[in-house]
Amino acid sequence: MWERGFINEKNLKQYTVDGRKDAFDYLQPHTSLKYLLDNCTDFKEEESMLQSIGSTLGVSINWTPKHHCELAGEGIEYSLGCAKNAYRLMPLSIKRKKETFWETVKKCLRHDVLTTEWVRQFL
């Protein structure tokens, strides 16, 4: 953040993750690292590593808000566990060949396997 000129490197103690409050108990957004990072346009528009990997596999990943690991972490773990369970239930004959393997993986990540109701339960 200091390389971009958002924070004063000589006074790093004034910044916190959520920001400091003034004498009247008002939050000072210019002291919040989250606020400063949210205002970086390249950070907002940058594709996450998980989204990048998903796009190479041909799936769309839209449920990982940036810098909210407490929301994304468990939901992703349980959703991937659900997809792995669906994969394990598929017959081995389908998973053996490279061509059918990728199709099987895509089937396990589809919306009919990872339904909205299931994903919401995981959060």
Look at the pTM and tell me if it is higher than 0.85: no
What does R_g of the chain's alpha carbons equal in angstroms?
Answer: 21
Which among 87, 91, 93, 92 has a CA at the least distance from the CA of 114?
A: 87
How far is Cα 99 from Cα 78, in angstroms, rounded to an integer? 27
Of residues 118, 9, 102, the one with CA closest to residue 57: 102
How do residues 64-85 score in pLDDT, each as one tens digit? Answer: 555 555 555 566 777 888 888 9
pLDDT digit string (tens) for 10-43?
Answer: 888 888 888 888 888 888 888 888 888 777 777 6
Length of the chain: 123
Domain positions in the chain are 9-45, 49-122
User: What pLDDT, on a 0 to 100 scale, did the predictor assign at position 89?
Assistant: 92
* Cα torsion 92, 96, 98, 100: sign: negative
| Residue position matching structure tokens 């919401």 | 120
